[in-house]
Amino acid sequence: MTEQVPNGAPAPGMTQVRMQILAQVVRDLSFENAVALKGVQATDVQPEMALAVNLDARKRSVENQYDVIIKLKVTASNKADKATLYILEVEYGGVFHIEGIPEEQLHPFLLIECPRQLFPFVRRIVSDVTRDGGFPSFNIEPIDFVGLYRNELARRAQAQQQQPTSVS
């Protein structure tokens, strides 16, 4: 990233990185309470949680602006019979203005640093929705966005290696 000198100016030869969150928005939110639909008391269950995380980033038509979206799917199942208790899906996005990031570092920046900035807000939404749905608040543990990024790169590399090569 950027090396800073004591007065706050970038070190000689370094560019100033500038990131600003212009907007944040819940793009989509769904909470399906299977317990309420079946007429079962939520106190009669022991939830077992599963979390899926997907990230997306896109360039906007305005220079230096990007959409970054965190897609979360939380599935709670009853420990005893594995019946679904609830499914929560949320897409939370931010519009970012980013300058000073070299092109080769922009992709990881968008999928690591930007979601890191959005995470506390989507975490709060998940906690509030699960609590308001009649279940204990689900407080998502901090997500390792660096690890997610590396795993996705490894998955893509492996998929590319497994593709058959055609001989002309």
CATH classification at residue 85: 3.10.420.10
pLDDT score of 4: 43
Instruction: Please state the rounded mean pLDDT for residues 62-74.
Output: 97
pLDDT confidence band for 101 (50 / 70 / 90): very high
pLDDT at residue 2 in the model: 40
* Residue span of the structural domain in which 130 resides: 20-143
Number of domains, the chain: 1
pLDDT at 13 > cutoff 70: no
In a domain, 4, yes or no: no
- Among 5-9, 40-44, 109-113, 138-142, the range scoring the smallest mean pLDDT is 5-9
Long-range own/partner contacts, residues 122-128 (CB < 8 A, 24 or more apart)? 122/70, 122/72, 122/90, 122/92, 125/26, 125/29, 125/90, 125/92, 126/72, 126/74, 126/88, 126/90
User: Is this prediction's pTM over 0.85?
Assistant: no
